[in-house]
Chains A and B, each alone.
Chain A
Amino acid sequence: MSDVASPTGLTDVQDVAGGDHTLIVSSRLMMGANTTLQLTFLFTFFYLRANNFGGMWHPSGVSAPPEVLALVALLVPIVALLALWAVSRAIAQGTTSINGLLWLALAFVVLTGAVRILMMYQFGWDLQNGTYIDISTVWYGVLLAEFIMVGLWVLSLVMGHIRGTSPITAAQARTVAEQWSYITVVSFAVYALTEFVT
């Protein structure tokens, strides 16, 4: 049986506020859950590819994602990512005038969504034409949804900060940048997979 001890020397506190720690821990947990989801699609990709039932994995005539547009769709979130990390670093250093960076980040976040929607539209894939197209479409769709969700988070932080109702904290800036980085890296991996492992 453990001995009773108070590490603070106090006998009680008014509340235990997790605060920044809660946000950071939760963000990492969310990444863990997201990793399982991505691994689900990865497993599906290789399972269907390896079995190639009826030769219907990648029937001839089906093209991989268009390279130029796909590269643009990959580069735009990187710019957003750099802006988000710049915001995070500025807040950590105590800089107060970060509105310009915030707008820049938001602009590229919005552009990311637009370019990826355009990219999916440009695929012109027929969903009934093999499982390579099925899994690729679903995967790109899920990543788009994730970019949009993190984008909405960025929007809420920017709006709160710009309007002065809820200034961004260092933990918020860091976690949103981490989430965006995570999805950007996954989108790179997915692109490489669907482009080169057909």
Chain B
Amino acid sequence: MDAVAPARPPIDSRPTMARRLNDWGLLLGVIGSIVGFLVGWAIGSVAIAYSFGADNSLGSDPGILLGYSLSVVGFLAGMGFLNYPIGRLMGRPKASEEDNAYLHGEGGGISRYFRMTTDHKVIGLQYLVMILAFLFIGGLGAMFIRAELLTPSPTVATPQSYLTLVGLHSTLMIFMASAAIIGPFGNYFVPIMIGSRNMAFPRLEALTFWLLPPAGLILLSTVFLGGFTTGWTGYAPLSDQNVAGMDSYLMAFALIGLSIGLSGLNMIATIITKRAPGMPLTRMPIFVWGVFVTSFLGLLAAPALIGAVLMETIDRSFQTTFYVPAGGGSPFLWENLFWFFGHPEVYIFMIPAFGIVMEMLPVFTRRPLWGYRVSIAGMAGIGLLSFTVWQHHLFVSGLAPSLRPFYMFSTELISVPTGIVYLVALGSMWRARTRFSTPMLYIGAFFFNFLIGGFTGVFLSDVPSDFTLHASYFVQAHFHYTIMGAEVFALMAAIVYFLPKMTGFTMDTKLLKFQFWAVFLTFNGTFISLICVGILGMTRRTISYASYLQPLNVSASVFAFGLGTSMALFLGILIWEAVIKRTRAVDNPWESLGVEWQVPTPVPVFNFDRVPTAWSLPYDYDTGKPATDLGSVTPALSGA
């Protein structure tokens, strides 16, 4: 590893034209996306469709898909993402240090949060805001669903619009869940935790974020194109038969896949090549390990999704028949490819959640993290096995009976490393004088909820019980227990825990404790009701149900409304405390030994002026020795 002098004169206060344009990047991006969509729509609807003999009417699939594609290109061009590659293609000189610093956000003030920036901390906060916004929209969808299910027969929605609503809710939530931990906290803290001043590919990091808002908006635009009825899994042949709203799903999913894959590549490259001297892999914080393992999953699983989506878009645009039995294709091909991505995707949610929970645990138990290396092995084991279990999603639909035992066994096997990680994390709490600060409450709930999610999962990995429970509300409750009950609770813990470092502000702990108990009780009330409904045979994605199931559905809905309210309360407290009231936090409110708490708040633009070379694990609460001694290594640049 080289030592590079970052000496550079202060940034010029007079912005160049390129910088002025960059400041208006978001507006230019919106204009670019509109122009791109119109151009793509026109070309796709007329030229391409006519040439290939496909439907050449306006609103056809080639027109919509090309319109979406060029709208994304236009958006990125407006944001300034093409400046660098075009400049390189023309052999122009590389950007000056000064321009790079400006792009990094130095001296940019609040405007840098609304444009392309290469500062991983700004990108982390951009992720956080976007994820909370889309989770809020997805949560509203859940409220509508539960309102509709108060009665056994349709009331407000039609079956078609109900399915679109379910699909929108689930797809949006899955999209955002895949980035919920890594997006805000991985991007913000991994470089700091490994002693780096930046990510390996800062522009790529910005790109992985700025692919997501277009993806979310494209998905939401499905309501103008007739919606889609497949749910988040997009199963063929329904996806082939759907109206143009399906194109929104496909385009959005492709963008998400691209973002996940590129983000994984960037994280791995950063962790492997940008660690400070003196930090071998065995001294990396456990959260960084979680991100590291997850990044491999994203990098290797996302291409399968992109390939599958590509074939589906071509099926819809040019009448190929990958998934159409009449033309020699097979809907099961989609199921295989989708779940080859989809099951590792589950662990893309969960491993960073475990990582961040284990990162926070020692701070509150005031004890070293127990079984550090074992938990790394557990996470790696989960990652490896996650590629071998996808066909358990096909137990009922079309898997050859002879293959069922293997996939049942591999699925049950994955509970071993998962259990190891779980028990190791619990081991850190053994006989500890735990401080039950607010984040610790959410962490406790994480373990409780994940336990139920894990136990219900065992039934679904078992072929006979899966035949009974498949496609029922039992499955729905199971994955809500793991994704919402575990990951979203980990997210809330992390927000409360890291907010003082990320923003310099803190949240009201009394209100949060009330919010915690409200969200914990209503969450369990909702999904225990749905477990019961599922066992009684209610299938998911249906707007009507047998009348004897109404009491349990009413119970689920009432608890769900409470859940929605308590989640809104969390958002309200966050906005009130961090944006309006701006209650200042102390420097290290949790008395953590992690390096992220040793750097000043706000974190300087380039994190460290000089990077320390002597590091240890940040969990030595027996002696109180911090991860590294920043001592004289004081940052020179001030952040905002």
Interface residues in chain A, defined as those with a beta carbon under 8 Å from any beta carbon in chain B: 1-8, 10-19, 21-22, 25-26, 29-30, 32-34, 36-37, 39-41, 43-44, 47-48, 51-57, 127-128, 130-131, 134-135, 137-138, 142, 152, 155-156, 159-160, 162-163, 165-166
Contact = CB atoms under 8 A, between A and B. Distances in A.
A85 B628 CA distance: 44
A34 B277 contact: no
A13 B265 contact: no
A156 B1 CA distance: 26
Contact of B273 (A13, A22, A37, A137): A22
A18 B273 contact: yes
**Size bracket, chain B contacts:** 35 or more
A156 B322 contact: no
A147 to B, nearest CB: 16
A5 B89 contact: no
Given A15-B611, A33-B261, A56-B328, A152 B89 contact: yes
A19 B336 contact: no
Contacts of B329: 48, 53, 56, 131, 134
B3 A13 contact: yes
Contacts of B200: 18, 22, 26
The 4 closest A-B pairs by CB, nearest first: A56-B328, A159-B91, A18-B273, A40-B307
23 contacts: A1-B622, A4-B278, A7-B277, A13-B276, A15-B3, A16-B195, A18-B274, A22-B269, A26-B200, A33-B302, A40-B307, A40-B308, A54-B328, A127-B52, A130-B327, A130-B328, A131-B321, A134-B329, A138-B320, A159-B88, A163-B91, A165-B91, A165-B94
Contacts of A152: 85, 89
Interface string B312-341: 001000111110011111100100110010
- Residue among B1, B300, B328, B340 having the largest count of chain A Cβ atoms under 10 Å: B328
A119 B589 CA distance: 65
A56 B85 CA distance: 43
Contact of B4 (A5, A14, A30): A14
B404 interface: no
B89 A47 contact: no
B614 A6 contact: yes
Given A54-B328, A165-B94, A44 B333 contact: yes
Nearest to A152: B89
Given A47-B330, A163-B91, A29 B325 contact: no
Contacts of A11: 612-614, 633
Interface string B279-310: 00011000000000000000111111011101
Given A22-B273, A56-B327, A138-B310, A166 B620 contact: no
Contacts of B1: 13, 16-18, 21
Given A6-B613, A29-B265, A37 B304 contact: yes
B473 interface: no
A33 B93 CA distance: 31
Contacts of B270: 18
Interface string B490-514: 0000000000000000000000000
A90 to B, nearest CB: 20
Nearest to A57: B328
A159 B89 contact: yes
Given A18-B274, A26-B265, A36-B304, A10 B613 contact: yes
Given A29-B269, A131-B329, A56 B321 contact: yes
B272 A48 contact: no
A14 B1 CA distance: 11
B93 A165 contact: yes
Contacts of A138: 310-311, 314, 320
Contacts of A52: 328
Contact of B88 (A127, A137, A166): A166
Contacts of B201: 22, 26
Interface in B1-58: 1-6, 52
- Residue among A13, A162, A165 having the largest count of chain B Cβ atoms under 10 Å: A13
A146 B85 CA distance: 16
A166 B91 contact: yes
A41 B333 CA distance: 11
Interface in B364-381: 368
Contacts of A54: 325-328
Interface in B249-286: 261, 265, 268-270, 272-278, 282-283
Contacts of B2: 16-17, 19
- Residue among A4, A30, A130 having the largest count of chain B Cβ atoms under 10 Å: A4
B272 A25 contact: yes
A175 B318 CA distance: 36
B92 interface: yes
Given A1-B616, A6-B614, A44-B333, A127 B319 contact: yes
A159 B92 CA distance: 8
B441 to A, nearest CB: 27
B610 interface: yes
B92 to A, nearest CB: 6
Contacts of A55: 328
Interface string B379-412: 0000000000000000000000000000000000
Interface string B439-465: 000000000000000000000000000
